[in-house]
């Protein structure tokens, strides 16, 4: 499979967000999801909120949720590592349904299509074990065939009243 086949169109991801009622996206921009960021910035229906750090992306999303909105959070794997305590607090302890789209920054192209456990990059191969240790469900978005996993994240978050992570395996496509 060509490398580009692992790039899921950003417009298709945004459509899935909208289909799940997303009103706001809080983010610290992520290299992996730059095209998704561009789609969100140009979109009239979803309000993009740029944050200085991932903790703020989570807390702002929490406030939006309490205020009756449906936010999605967009960050990269390094950012997820940066905000684990906030995720524990507003996500797990407060039992908040929240979908977090996390780009696998630094993943080797040779690892695409393979288990991220075999990645040679710690920032990639520790994400799933960290989420498992925290009891946070996750789904992998590896190709366009996985787009229904976006829906699965929102369904799981609502059902279990918890944060759910969408792991975006490769650069989202500029399409």
Partner 1 sequence: MTMTCNEACAVIAGQESGALVVTTMSAMFGYQKASQSPTVMSSVPLMGGASGIGLGLALARPEKQVLVLDGDSSLLMELGSLATVAGQKPENFKHFVFKNNAQFAGIANAEVPGGAGVDFAAAALASGYAGAHKVETLEQLKEQLPAILVETGPVLVELSIGAPQKFGRSAPQPEIPDMQFQRMGAEARRVMQALAEA
> Applying CB under 8 A, does 55 fall inside the site for partner 1?
yes
Q: How far is the CB of 99 from partner 1 (least distance, A)?
A: 15
Which listed residue (20, 56, 78, 82) binds partner 1 by CB under 8 A? 56
Q: Both tokens of residue 62?
A: 């929490």
Q: How far is the CB of 53 from partner 1 (least distance, A)?
A: 5
Which listed residue (11, 15, 20, 69) binds partner 1 by CB under 8 A? 69
List binders of partner 1 among 128-147 (CB under 8 A): none
Task: Give the C-alpha separation, 30 to 148, whole Å.
Answer: 22
Query: What is the side-by-side strand order in the sheet with 47-50?
Result: 47-50, 24-27, 71-76, 98-103, 163-168, 138-141
- Binding residues for partner 1, per CB under 8 A? 24, 26, 47, 49-53, 55-69, 71, 85-86, 89-90, 93-96
């Amino acid at each position: 499979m060509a490398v580009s086949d692992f790039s899921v169109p950003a417009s298709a991801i945004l459509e899935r967000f909208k289909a799940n009622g997303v009103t706001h996206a809080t983010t610290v921009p992520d290299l992996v999801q730059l095209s998704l960021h561009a789609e969100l910035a140009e979109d009239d229906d979803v309000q993009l909120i740029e944050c200085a750090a991932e903790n703020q992306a989570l807390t702002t999303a929490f406030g939006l949720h309490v205020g009756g909105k449906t936010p999605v959070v967009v960050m990269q794997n390094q950012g997820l590592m940066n905000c684990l305590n906030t995720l524990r607090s507003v996500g797990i302890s407060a039992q908040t349904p929240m979908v977090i789209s996390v780009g696998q920054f630094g993943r080797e192209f040779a690892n695409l299509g393979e288990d991220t456990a075999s990645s040679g990059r710690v920032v990639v191969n520790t994400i799933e074990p960290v989420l498992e240790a925290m009891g946070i469900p996750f789904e992998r978005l590896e190709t366009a065939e996985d787009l229904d996993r976006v829906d699965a994240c929102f369904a799981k978050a609502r059902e279990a009243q918890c944060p759910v992570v969408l792991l975006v395996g490769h650069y989202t496509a500029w399409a």
